Structure 1
């Protein structure tokens, strides 16, 4: 990988990691579900006008939009609003790789290799240690919401793999159109129209800035750059850079939000990052029956599995 490409990969990981701190700041301006709806609305418009028509069936766009956009991001924002620290959220969400492997085994029949199984066990140990740390400092209910968000992310990864989009950015921009109305409806029902209107009336430059960051910088730039790298380098070369996301997430939360990095949290980080590395980079294992795919499908499947949308 060229130095410029390497720096771009690190920059994307940094953008995705700092995003958790930006979300925390944004939750001081907006109710969580309204904030999530604004994120997807701003990400989809005007980008949807420039990416062309959808290149996969609408059933996959709607399915991923509901699971990833409504369920995963809705639960993440709710969990962080309920007290889950930004840095810890950036770390715990990486357990999605374990959920992805488990759901792929159940749905696609992909039996994980021994190194992957070991990685899953190590990562789960990291989550257990993180739960102990959170139990001494914050609400476990918020922790559970983020874990559930990670499970929804795993399911969306499997759905994305089934969709095999030939253009990952086109796919994610169209996916971003799906959650807007459901999230707005849920916000009105659960957070209340008066609270939503009050947040919009009080909108200031910081509020605008956080929405633009989570929409255009994190989603449009981050995913676009990630997809660009995946088209030029093997997924096995690009994917490991996503392990830097919790490093930047925890560091930025400590720097800008004053979150403490306890020994337990460092231990959880070591186990989770190590386990996720084994799960993500080890050989995938085998299927019950051999499946033959053409070269184009292999490329799109690799991009869908490795180019996961970050929060």
Structure 2
């Protein structure tokens, strides 16, 4: 990979990692459904030029909008609100990788080799270790919410594999169009004080959903989509393992998280398992296998 593209990969990882800080700050003031609706409202305004009907793909696009836009993001931000730290959320959210690998086995007919089986076991075992960290143990509901959000993202990933000829910004525009009103309705039904939260929000608090839309979706996903167009998946996806590492570092440095040995051990186990699933290895003929 060219040095300039490596810097782009670093920028994408940093943008995604800092999104955990922005999300935690946002749900500290806004309730999760409201925050997520605001995030997608900003994204929708920015991506309106990409919003057009996609013949033959609308069923799949709308399914992804429901699973990723409504379920995944609302569960992740609800987990951030309930959590006592950012690091555990950042690590547990990566469970979408082993979840999607297992789902692909049943829904797409893909196969699992011994390396991936070990990787899946290691990833889930790492999250179990994290669950016994005292800070996380007091907020197990947060860990469960984030794990459910990772499962929703895994299902959306399987749905995305079935799409053909759909650009990343067009897909995100449709997700935003569907998720914004759905999450606003959920906020009206299950949350209170929306107008007060909007009226009293500071500039930094209002910046949180804006950053989440611009930094995570436009910059992060846009860069990764660009890199996937230039390099094989086996080259690009392992670089994304830097995202939770940076998120943990940001949590410690900027949010005051305490990196205990259980969190460090569980995080290392989870990331090692995910690396085992995603990083391709050369076979005896020198051909890399996914």
What does the per-residue CA deviation read over 1:87-114, in whole Å, with 9 as the maximum and x for residues that have no partner?
A: 2111111111111011111212212122
Q: Give the 5 Å matches for 1:217-296.
A: 217-282=215-280
TM-score (norm 2): 0.92
1:137 positional shift: 4.8
Partners in 2 of 1:269 and 1:160 — Cα distance?
A: 27
Q: 1:282 to 1:233 in 2, by over 3 A?
A: closer
User: Secondary structure at the residue paired with 2:28?
Assistant: coil
User: Secondary structure at the residue paired with 2:162?
Assistant: helix
User: Secondary structure at the residue paired with 1:163?
Assistant: coil
Partners in 1 of 2:165 and 2:171 — Cα distance?
A: 6
What is the aligned partner in structure 2 of residue 169 from structure 1? 169
- Alpha-carbon RMSD across the aligned residues, in angstroms, is 1.8
1:166 positional shift: 4.0
What is the aligned partner in structure 1 of residue 153 from structure 2? 153
CA contact (8 A) 1:122 1:274 kept: yes
75-84 or 271-280: bigger deviation: 75-84
Partners in 2 of 1:202 and 1:58 — Cα distance?
A: 39
Partners in 1 of 2:123 and 2:22 — Cα distance?
A: 26
Paired residue total? 282
Partners in 2 of 1:104 and 1:213 — Cα distance?
A: 32
User: Which consecutive unaligned segments of at least 5 residues does structure 2 have?
Assistant: 282-289
Tell me whether 1:37 sits opposite 2:37 in the alignment. Answer: yes
What does the per-residue CA deviation read over 1:55-110, in whole Å, with 9 as the maximum and x for residues that have no partner?
A: 66211111111111111111111111112522211111111111101111121221
Pairing partner for 1:205 from 203, 206, 212: 203
Runs of 4+ in 1 over 4 A off after TM superposition: 50-53, 134-137
What does the per-residue CA deviation read over 1:18-66, in whole Å, with 9 as the maximum and x for residues that have no partner?
A: 1101111111221111000111111121312146554662111111111
1:282 positional shift: 4.1
What is the aligned partner in structure 2 of residue 28 from structure 1? 28
User: Which consecutive unaligned segments of at least 5 residues does structure 1 have?
Assistant: 284-305, 307-311
CA contact (8 A) 2:8 2:223 kept: yes
1:267 positional shift: 0.5
Q: 1:261 to 1:164 in 2, by over 3 A?
A: farther
What is the aligned partner in structure 2 of residue 10 from structure 1? 10
213-222 or 158-167: bigger deviation: 158-167
Partners in 1 of 2:209 and 2:136 — Cα distance?
A: 32
1:208 positional shift: 2.3
Partners in 1 of 2:134 and 2:60 — Cα distance?
A: 36
Partners in 1 of 2:135 and 2:216 — Cα distance?
A: 30
What is the aligned partner in structure 2 of residue 132 from structure 1? 132
